[in-house]
Chains A and B, each alone.
Chain A
Amino acid sequence: MKKHALASAVVFLLLGAAAYGALFVAPTEKTMGTIQRIFYLHVSSAWTGLTAFFICFLANLLYVWRREPRWDWLAVSAAEVGLVFTTVVLVTGPIWAHPVWGIWWTWDARLTSTFVLWLVYISYLLLRTLVEEPDRRALFSALFGIFAFIDVPLVFGSIRWWRTQHPQPVVMGGSGSGLEPTMWYVLLFSWGAMLSLMALLVRARFEFEAVRGETELVRREAEGA
């Protein structure tokens, strides 16, 4: 419990430092001005969400291979946490877009593929509520989770393969892409802070899933007694 409180405090401090870096250390972008500071929260949340979905994908593969409940618990934990980070991306994006584009939303390839990603992982979580038997639920959702990951490379490639309203990538975007060095440091620090938050949330969610597994066992024992 003490260790958990300490980890939460460290993550909180890292998030505070990341916000300070984004608001006060990073230079003001020339074209967009102050509003561009949302970038550090928006992009680091997006990268962290995709990382969580990748963990979910690996855990689903491991469940199909090993059939151990802990991989199912990790998969659902990473999926739910990835969904939370993607929700932050979908909320902060329009707040940034409105003053810059003059619209809150547009159905371009990046925004649409991200919205589809959000819907697909909501479906993954809904699917789990429809199957009661734990082993069948774990297997069905693992197979669905492996399939769901197909959208992640699409989100990554959407701004590289198609012309979009969304800005071009700052990483692996070819000539003309990239960032000013201080912006890079602040972005990487923000991503590190978000990854630590992701680890904290996945750990807490995993613990919840383990307790739920125990509850199901005790409940069955109580019903049989």
Chain B
Amino acid sequence: MKNLNSVFAAYLAGWGIFFAYYISIARRTASLREEIERLKNSLNRGK
């Protein structure tokens, strides 16, 4: 099984990139939702 390490490295790198991207979208969306809530609350307090 020559080069098996390279095969696993490629699959780990590929899956790692996809996973990191998915997490980054989820975090960015959650942070925006928090900002919307904060802005809406400050707007409601100002009324």
Contacts and interface: CB of A to CB of B under 8 A. Distances in A.
A19 interface: yes
Interface of A: 15, 19, 23, 33-35, 37-38, 41-42, 45, 81, 84, 87-88, 91-92, 95-96, 98-99, 197, 200-201, 204-205, 207-208, 211-212, 214-215, 218-219, 221-222, 225
Secondary structure of the B side of the interface?
A: helix
Interface residues of B, number: 29
9 contacts: A34-B4, A37-B7, A38-B10, A45-B14, A91-B14, A95-B6, A201-B22, A201-B25, A222-B43
B21 to A, nearest CB: 5
Contacts of B42: 222
Interface string B1-18: 111101101110111011
Secondary structure of the A side of the interface?
A: helix
Contact of A215 (B2, B6, B7, B32): B32
Contact of A92 (B3, B14, B32, B35): B14
A84 B15 CA distance: 11
Contact of B26 (A91, A197, A204): A204
